[in-house]
């Protein structure tokens, strides 16, 4: 079972998501929160696998809550679910540590699949968000990543751990970490999701298709 925490400041929206997700056999909605502060307090107690996070909320917004939650020990995956797809919102969510960005008008099947992929460690982007990032790939400046660094990032995008990547590429886990650190520096990011998103936005890799 994938344990879910639903965070949204609109009670009707929140109730609708809980009802829809509760119909999935492999989902267990363990809690709800009306803002980021409530979510932050609930995560250690409820231990969700995935947090569905709205962005624009009172008390503490989704980006700040995401940053704090992903910094916790044994942190859950945070999947942003919002009505906004502006560049600024996407960047804030990714920089905060979100594993993906989905729009609220997504069909139930798409949402359910995105949650499962997030739980597996994959990076998940809604089609309009991916398209918006793709538009930014037209710029001439592209980080100079090596072929091996790109191989590692492609496998990160598929949700593989460092150990799994090492086995896939026949290299040591320490070498995988070295490639990631160098890729992070070249892309100007500090975490795996941001690296994958930045590499995609730069036209260096493609995201896994489902």
> Are the CB atoms for 93 and 70 separated by under 8 Å?
no
- Among 72, 63, 49, smallest CA distance to 98 is for 63
What is the pLDDT at residue 158? 87
* pLDDT per residue rounded down to tens, the chain (210 residues): 999 999 999 999 999 999 999 999 999 999 999 999 999 999 999 999 999 999 889 999 998 999 999 989 889 999 998 887 676 777 778 778 888 888 888 888 989 999 999 999 888 887 767 666 656 555 555 678 888 999 999 999 888 999 999 999 999 999 999 999 999 988 888 888 888 888 887 778 887 765
pLDDT on residue 78:
95
- 121-159 burial string, b = 16+ CB within 10 Å, else e? bbbbbbeebbebbeeeeeeeeeeebeebbebbbbbbbbb
**Helices and strands: H and E segment counts in the chain:** 10, 6
- Domains of the chain, with CATH numbers? 2-135 (3.40.50.2300), 137-201 (1.10.10.10)
Starting at the edge strand found earlier in the chain, the sheet holding 27-33 runs: 27-33, 2-7, 50-53, 77-82, 100-103, 124-125
Q: What is the DSSP letter of 60?
A: S
| Structure tokens given for 10 | 């609109």
pTM of the model as a whole: 0.72
């Amino acid at each position: 079972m994938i344990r879910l925490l639903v965070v949204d400041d609109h009670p009707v929206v929140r109730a609708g998501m809980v009802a829809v997700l509760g119909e999935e056999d492999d989902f267990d909605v363990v809690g709800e929160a009306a803002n980021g502060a409530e979510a932050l307090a609930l995560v250690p107690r409820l231990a969700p696998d995935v947090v569905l996070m709205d962005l624009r909320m009172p008390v503490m917004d989704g980006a700040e809550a995401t940053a704090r939650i992903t910094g916790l020990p044994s942190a859950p995956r945070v999947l942003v679910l919002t009505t906004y797809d502006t560049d600024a919102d996407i960047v804030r969510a990714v920089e905060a540590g979100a594993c993906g960005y989905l729009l609220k008008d997504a069909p139930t099947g798409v949402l359910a699949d995105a949650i499962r992929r997030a739980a597996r460690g994959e990076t998940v982007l809604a089609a309009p968000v991916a398209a918006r990032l793709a538009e930014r790939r037209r710029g001439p400046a592209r980080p100079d990543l090596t072929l091996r660094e790109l191989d590692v990032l492609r496998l990160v995008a598929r949700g593989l751990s460092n150990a799994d990547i090492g086995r896939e590429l026949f290299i040591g886990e320490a070498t995988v970490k070295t490639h990631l650190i160098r890729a992070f520096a070249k892309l100007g990011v500090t975490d795996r999701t941001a690296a994958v998103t930045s590499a995609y936005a730069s036209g260096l890799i493609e995201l896994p298709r489902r």
